[in-house]
Amino acid sequence: PSRADITYFGAGPALLPTSVLEEASQALLNYKDTGLGIAEHSHRSQYAADIINQAKSDLTTYLDIPEDYEILFMQGGGTGEFSATVYNLVGAWVTRKKAEILKQLGAQSEEEANQEELVTALKKAVDTELKLDYLVTGGWSLKAYQEAGRLLGPEYTNLATDSRTVNEGKFGKIPDESTWKLSKNAAMVYYCDNETVDGVEFPKFPDTLIPDSNGEGPIVVADMSSNILSRRIPVKNFSAIFFGAQKNLGSTGVTVVIIKKSLLPPACPQPSPALMRKLGLPVPPIVFSYETVAKNNSLYNTLSIFDVYIAGQVLKKLLATFPDKVDGQQAVADQKADIIYKALEAHPNVYRIVPDKSVRSRMNICFRVTINNDTDGTEARFLKEATAVGLTGLKGHRSVGGIRASNYNSIPLAGAQKLADFINNFAQA
């Protein structure tokens, strides 16, 4: 089949706009008439710097990112960020705690303080107060929570909520906020805004985590790997947001971090490796150090400029398509999800939507198909017949089975409509 015959609903890497790929194929051979391709130019070249700066600027425009945020391009994927967030946010917590203790000790600086006193007080604070809170609402936040326990020791992690406790051991709901057990002064409250495997999306920013009128609130970190660029987000409520590029932004190979500058130097330098070792806390590998990446405008080491270029081209296309930026894309994303969910709801004896209605993802639509009490056989037939008409990539994640339609930004409205028609026709037949 040709590219034009297929609507690909795979969960990631996802479909990229054809026009972006056509231009990219030229850029790979000869970028801006230099005779060299974009993947061959030095990451130290002006071309690279321009691509990074333009992508940052367009992302800022598209999402209305406030000025007091920095944008980092990193490697290691969403999984790398499960680790990076732990290292960096624990470091930031130690820096804040150290400032508090120095004040109590009446010292102007770390050097001036009695080192033994300082380390003893800090160690005590680490042992009794340091906590990382996780809202576990699906497979990806579970992985992040487990990684924090692996890096730090489970005694430092707090499972503030776990969806499985309110849904018969399975993901698919988000427990009521009043039941969340948040720690006092957590190093971060972490959650995954859209759970790709389980089809669960936070309907909005959690009320309990909204900062007060002075802007004071918990340190909130969110994984938006699978729903970024698809709806407006209140960036100012977050300390950090991260996402792999490969679903809604671009190709696999770069991960974006949007981080509040108050977590970076000069406001918040990371503690020295020597101090972290004395406290028994881990020191980040340098490629995962946000302050190192920020200081070098994402070019501490060789970055895949090609992948940043692709992300930049996708952003350019989004900005050209939607004069009202992310709000425009949000309206389309909502409409596409609505069409597909409506088709599923029209045949309740055939389709069962997996997550609870209150937390249904607009991006990853997870459902089961059963006819004559046969789910496995019916789903196999559903996938086969869908593929035959060019609707591909619909198989659910291997850990949960079923069907999953990943309805990312590059799926056109007509593609969502084609799937909805197929869902209707399959049930009627």
Residue 410 as a binder of ligand PLP (CB under 6 A): the answer is: no
Distance, CA of 363 to CA of 203 (rounded, Å): 12
**Strand partners for 244:** 255
Q: Indicate the helix (H) or strand (E) that contains 74.
A: strand 69-74
Alpha helices in 245-375 (DSSP H): 273-278, 290-295, 305-321, 326-345
**What minimum distance in Å lies between the beta carbon of 7 and ligand PLP?**
20
Count the site residues for ligand PLP by CB under 6 A.
Answer: 11
CB 320 within 8 A of CB 312: no
Q: Which is nearer to ligand PLP, 16 or 94 (CB)?
A: 16
Of 80 and 415, CB closest to ligand PLP? 80
Residue in 79, 297, 304, 370 binding ligand PLP, rule: CB under 6 A? 79
Does 137 participate in binding ligand PLP (rule CB under 6 A)? no
Taking the least distance from each CB to ligand PLP, the nearer of 226 and 289 is: 226
Task: Tell me which H or E stretch contains 51.
Answer: helix 46-63
Q: Which is nearer to ligand PLP, 197 or 305 (CB)?
A: 197
Which has the closest alpha carbon to 95: 338, 281, 314, 233? 281
What number of residues does the chain have?
A: 429
User: Is residue 405 near ligand PLP by the rule CB under 6 A?
Assistant: no
User: Contact between 396 and ligand PLP (CB under 6 A)?
Assistant: no
The amino acid that residue 212 corresponds to is D
Question: Measured between alpha carbons, how far is 147 from 221 in angstroms, rounded to an integer?
Answer: 15
Q: How many CB atoms lie within 10 A of CB 67?
A: 7
CB of 140 to ligand PLP, least distance (A): 4
Footprint of ligand PLP on 238-257 (CB under 6 A):
244
402 binds ligand PLP (CB under 6 A): no
Site for ligand PLP contains 407 (CB under 6 A): no
User: Which stretch, 54-62, 156-164, 177-185, 221-229, contacts ligand PLP (CB under 6 A)?
Assistant: 221-229
Shortest separation between residue 246's beta carbon and ligand PLP, angstroms:
7
Of the pair 78, 250, the CB lying nearest ligand PLP is at: 78
Sketch the per residue contact string, 5 through 44, with ligand PLP: x for CB under 6 A, - otherwise.
-------x--------------------------------
Q: Is 355 in the site for ligand PLP (CB under 6 A)?
A: no
Interaction of residue 230 with ligand PLP, rule CB under 6 A: no
Closest approach, Cβ 249 to ligand PLP, in A, equals 12
10 vs 211, which CB is nearer to ligand PLP?
A: 10
Residue 341 touches ligand PLP, criterion: CB under 6 A: no
Contacting ligand PLP (CB under 6 A), which of 140, 288, 351, 367?
A: 140
* Long-range Cβ contact pairs of 293-297 (< 8 A, separation 24 or more): 293/72, 293/73, 293/74, 293/257, 294/70, 294/72, 294/259, 294/264, 295/265, 297/49, 297/52, 297/53
Closest distance of CB 247 from ligand PLP, Å: 7
Q: Do 410 and 393 form a contact (C-beta atoms < 8 A)?
A: no
- Residue 401, C-beta contacts closer than 8 angstroms, at least 6 positions apart: 379
- Residues 293, 286 contacting (CB under 8 angstroms): no
77 in contact with ligand PLP (CB under 6 A): yes
The CA R_g of the chain, rounded to the nearest whole Å, is 23
CB of 8 to ligand PLP, least distance (A): 15
Q: Interface residues for ligand PLP in 149-208 (CB under 6 A)?
A: 192, 196
Q: Which of 85, 137, 225, 407 binds ligand PLP (CB under 6 A)?
A: 225
Residue 223 touches ligand PLP, criterion: CB under 6 A: yes
Shortest spacing between CB 138 and ligand PLP, in angstroms: 8
Q: Strand order in 364-369's β-sheet?
A: 351-353, 364-369, 403-406
Q: Indicate whether 393 belongs to the interface with ligand PLP (CB under 6 A).
A: no
Site membership for ligand PLP, residue 78 (CB under 6 A)? yes
Instruction: State the DSSP H helix or E strand holding residue 427, giving kind and residue range, or none if neither.
Output: helix 413-428
> Which positions ≥6 away from 251 have C-beta within 8 Å?
13, 16, 245, 306, 307, 310, 311
Torsions phi, psi for 169 (to 5 deg): 80, 5
Q: What residues make contact with ligand PLP under the rule CB under 6 A?
A: 12, 77-79, 140, 192, 196, 223, 225-226, 244
